[in-house]
Amino acid sequence: MTRSLAPIGLLGYIFGSFLLAILYPQSVLAFLLFEASLLLLYYIPAHAKVKSTLAALVLIVLMPLLGTINGYYLEVAIQIGIYAALALGLNIVVGFVGLLNLGFVAFYAIGAYLWAIFGSPQANEFIAGGVFPLAPYWFFIFLLLSIGVGALTGLVLGLPVLRLRGDYLAVVTLGFAEVVRALVNNLDKPVNLTNGPRGISPIVKPPLFFRPVLEFFGLEITDAKLYPLYFYFLVLLVVCVIILVTRRLESSRIGRAWKAIREDEIAAAAMGVPVVRMKLLGFAVGASFASAVGVLFAAKQVFINPESFTFMESIGVLAMVILGGMGSIPGAILGATGVTILNLQLLKGLSLWLNGLRQSGAVLTLPLLGSYSLSQIPVQFEPAKYERMVFGLILILMMIFRPQGILPPKQERKR
């Protein structure tokens, strides 16, 4: 009974919130309600087929439609996708294999710089011939290449350090990320490889190979409108591939070996699991995800500099994995979504609202306390300025009240 009613109710909810978001394009709340439909979708009792159809409706049809009305929504969705992919990669290392990696952003940076250097005039600085930037179609080749490069750097870092345990490994990975950032920051002399702190731009975007198809259907869309949609679908595709690969790995002997190592390394070895090799593999797979996402990020941003790859980024992604629930694929996605929305929308939205109040010049009169002109609210009260604090508080509260994360791995396996 509920199995047939729930999807219909949800469908109503999806369209309702969709309409709200269209009617109130500035409303953060409306968009949040719309985004929540995916979460509801995860929870409702329904057939997997029904669920995936509804998810496809939201992600492939409605979200892009909303995006064409309010480009900012699309930007948020792209950011969520990028962080979800990063969180899924880190989830393999931290959640499955149980290795604390505090420098995950290094692999992201390596992917981003890989495309930034060769997909911009930057490479002309050290390769003669003036053939750079590469043509847009090279983007896809570099996307594939970055998987290999990421895996390789993961192996290179992993080989010497994976014999270390716990805290030691965390410190080494942290150091590695700082080394990568310092290199990127300083490799503008003697040979200008990375252009140092000034960053690299313009970075070539992927080719609009489907343009003729659109024109055939009589759709005239400007590049400025088309690219966000394009990136949205690219990110969506990458996230879907990552989810698929992660799920397959998780249910294979490799995923089982990873979790066994996390639970008890000695017992895992005694059961025939080649511990070092499996750890290396986990490191390499996570790194390859991050590095591929880095390529996407560079192409989307057009400009990148070392500032995008700080230690706080690593910590942010780690927090997403922990908040969502370590070792859980839906958890990593939810964590990434929650944190990104919090940073990009909730806090900014609150700041905007507070600004509005201030500018309205209204006067708040409280009994006993007297009246207070709202225009006097200090600028320091803006929630956006408290991003890290709010974030920290949420982490503390979560660790106290729900240490296993919001969506910890389920114990029942459907087979």
Q: What residue ranges bind another protein (CB under 8 A)? A: 245, 248-249, 251-254, 256-257, 259-260, 263-264, 266-275, 281, 327, 409, 411-413, 415
- Which is nearer to another protein, 58 or 239 (by Cβ)? 239
Of 116 and 149, CB closest to another protein: 149
Neighbours of 103 (CB within 10 A): 24
Q: How far is the CB of 45 from another protein (least distance, A)?
A: 19
Kindly tell me which of 240 and 312 has the beta carbon lying closer to another protein.
Answer: 240
Q: Could you tell me the smallest distance in angstroms from the CB atom of residue 415 to another protein?
A: 8
The closest of 175, 104, 154 to 283, measured between CA atoms, is 154
Residue 258 beta carbon to another protein: minimum distance, rounded to whole angstroms:
10
Cβ-based nearer residue to another protein, 316 or 324: 324
Place of tokens 């639970």: 263
- Closest separation in Å from C-beta 223 to another protein: 35
Least CB distance to another protein at residue 404 (A): 10
Q: Please, which residues have CB within 8 angstroms of residue 69's CB and are 6 or more apart in sequence?
A: 22, 25
**What phi, psi does 227 have (nearest 5°)?**
-60, -45
Query: Based on CB atoms, which residue is closest to another protein, 55 or 254?
Result: 254
Q: What are phi and psi of 372, to 5 degrees?
A: -140, 120
Neighbour count for residue 309 (Cβ, 10 Å): 26
Which candidate, 183, 196, 195, places its Cα nearest to that of 122? 195
Closer CB to another protein, 160 or 272, in the complex: 272
Alpha-carbon distance of 78 to 63, in angstroms, equals 11
Bridge-based pairing state of the strands 363-366 and 370-373: antiparallel
Min dist CB 328 to another protein, Å, is 11
Integer CA distances (angstroms), 222 to 62, 72, 211, 387, in order = 20, 17, 10, 35
Burial 241-250 (b: 16+ CB within 10 A, else e): ebbeebeebb
As beta bridge partners, residue 370 has 366
CB of 138 to another protein, least distance (A): 24
Under DSSP, is residue 53 helix (H, G, I), strand (E, B) or coil?
Answer: helix
Complex with another protein: residue 136 or 408, whichever CB lies closer: 408
Euclidean distance between CA atoms 288 and 154, whole angstroms = 8
